[in-house]
Amino acid sequence: MKKLTKRNENYSKWYNEIILRANIAEKSDVRGCMIIKPYGFSIWEKIKSILDNILKYTGHENVYFPLLIPKSYFSKEYNHIKGFAKECAIISHYRLKNYKNKNIIVDKSSKLEDELIVRPTSETIIWNSYKRWINSYRDLPILFNQWANIIRWERRTRFFLRTSEFLWQEGHTAHSTKKEAINQAKKILNIYTNVLENFIAIPVIQGIKTYSEKFAGAEKTYCIESIMQDGKSLQIATSHFLGQNFSKAFDVRYSTEKGNKEYVWATSWGISTRLIGAIIMTHSDDNGLILPPKIAPIQIVIIPVYKTQEQLNLIEKLVFPLKKFLEKRGINIKYDKRIYYTPGWKFNEYEIKGIPLRITIGKKDIDRGTVEVVRRDTLEKKYISINKLKFLIPKILSQIQDNIFKVALKRKNNFLIEVDSYEEFIEKIKKNSGFLFAHWDGSSETEKKIKVETNATIRCIPINLKKNIGKCIFSKNLSKQRVLFAKSY
């Protein structure tokens, strides 16, 4: 079987090959839209279920708003429409004709009076409803979330990282005070961080976007960023404090306890199928995908090595009770006894798919009383006594989870560098050496110039970094704290 392209040969080719070879996704004929195949989709389902449970536990409720949004809604918040105008898919007709001769054309007589936009995000249609639902302080807070598909007509697309259609959750909350809304935006950032670090094993940096990088319509955009193996930064999720921008645009006011009318405060926040790209780019190696056990749809694969039905019977006498025992403890196991494929072919297949643990059992193993266990993260091979197997496996899975995070954390820390001169900055950026902490004067002008000259952008102003005053690497003007520069996806 053909080997994958190596990361240091061609990182983006490697990335695409993993996606195709591990059966995660495939391109479709529709520009920038991909097909998410069962294996890829089951990873998304795992992540979705983890986050959905946490959101529900913290009081959020799921809703569903229409896919199609009247064009006029977008005009109401200027920065919002400005940000999305160039990537809106627009529906103008609702009927086809001439289908008899296979040369289908749009029936012009079916033109919609009011053209509709396929949602690129749902703030406008949701705030148009909040106007009806919010009257009094008793109606607040509203903590709604929806899992939905989104269309943004992107110029350059890339599997998961940037696609014309993607899946995400978008939360939209309404609050009576500014403080409560800001706390909500931060709380969500912490929920995302928890999911990323403790389940998906991706260490992140929490920060705030600069004025020019913030969401169209937000007052403040909180974000989590992570560094990929090639030293580029990937924005993983954002949580926006929207101030009163949308409540003013849609005239959503509430009566306070004292009877005054006040505009409502808002947040919105989202995380998308881009996460799957982040998982591949963070954890995988030259042999294929590596999945942290907590999000792996299949955590263990068991492969019997046999030549006769008799041997298979012997093996299965061992495998079936083990499988049952572990499944009762919530471990997902695939037992692959297919005869079309050789064990070697299967080893390769599950290595590319990133299954955390592989157990091989043959007649000889049974005679010896041990089985071969291979960890995907370290590729380490061990022979484990059959008696100990069922108690050791949960421990090994937990070790794999920890180790995958540790490796990613170490890499992240190695990529974090403080730079104090623009020369050093340029040199490092050229080599994609990761996250550069550098002083910046706070102006959009400097930010833009650095971007033009180096292709690096300010990924965020880190939240948890000790503030210290210095001089901007570019303008030499006063800087209040270091910010995080990197090239990004």
For residue 475, give Cα distances in angstroms to 440, 444, 467: 8, 12, 19
Rounded least distance, CB 438 to a second copy, Å: 35
User: What is the Cα–Cα distance from 231 to 409, expressed in whole angstroms?
Assistant: 13
Residue ranges binding a second copy (CB under 8 A): 26, 28-30, 33-38, 41-42, 44-45, 61-72, 74-76, 78, 81-82, 85-97, 99-100, 102-104, 106, 115-118, 125, 128-129, 132, 138, 144, 148-149, 151, 153, 164-165, 167, 340
Residue 85 Cβ vs a second copy, minimum distance, rounded to whole Å: 4
- In the bound state with a second copy, the residue whose beta carbon lies nearer, of 26 and 427, is 26
Closest CB to a second copy among residues 68, 366: 68
Q: Which is nearer to a second copy, 115 or 230 (CB)?
A: 115
Using the minimum distance from each CB to a second copy, give the nearer residue, 113 or 367: 113
Going from the C-alpha of 188 to that of each of 47, 191, 211, 227, 405, the distances in angstroms are 16, 5, 21, 21, 21
Shortest distance in whole angstroms from residue 142 CB to a second copy: 10
CB atoms within 10 A of CB 112: 13
Nearest to 263 by CA among 137, 145, 76: 137
Please answer whether residues 328 and 386 qualify as being in contact, where contact means their C-beta atoms are separated by less than 8 angstroms.
Answer: no
What is the nearest approach in angstroms of a second copy to the Cβ of residue 265? 20
Closer Cβ to a second copy, 77 or 213, answer by number: 77
Determine contact, residues 417/436, Cβ cutoff 8 Å. yes
**Among 359, 390, 393, which Cα is nearest to 373's?**
359
Distance CA 311, CA 309 (A): 5
The token pair at 64 is: 């569903």
CB of 98 to a second copy, least distance (A): 9
Cα(397)–Cα(470) distance, rounded to whole angstroms?
A: 46
Nearer to a second copy, 44 or 199 (CB): 44
Closest CA to 158 of 232, 102, 250: 232
Min separation Cβ 90 and a second copy, Å: 4
Least distance CB 22 / a second copy (angstroms): 15
By beta-carbon proximity to a second copy, the closer residue of 168 and 435 is 168
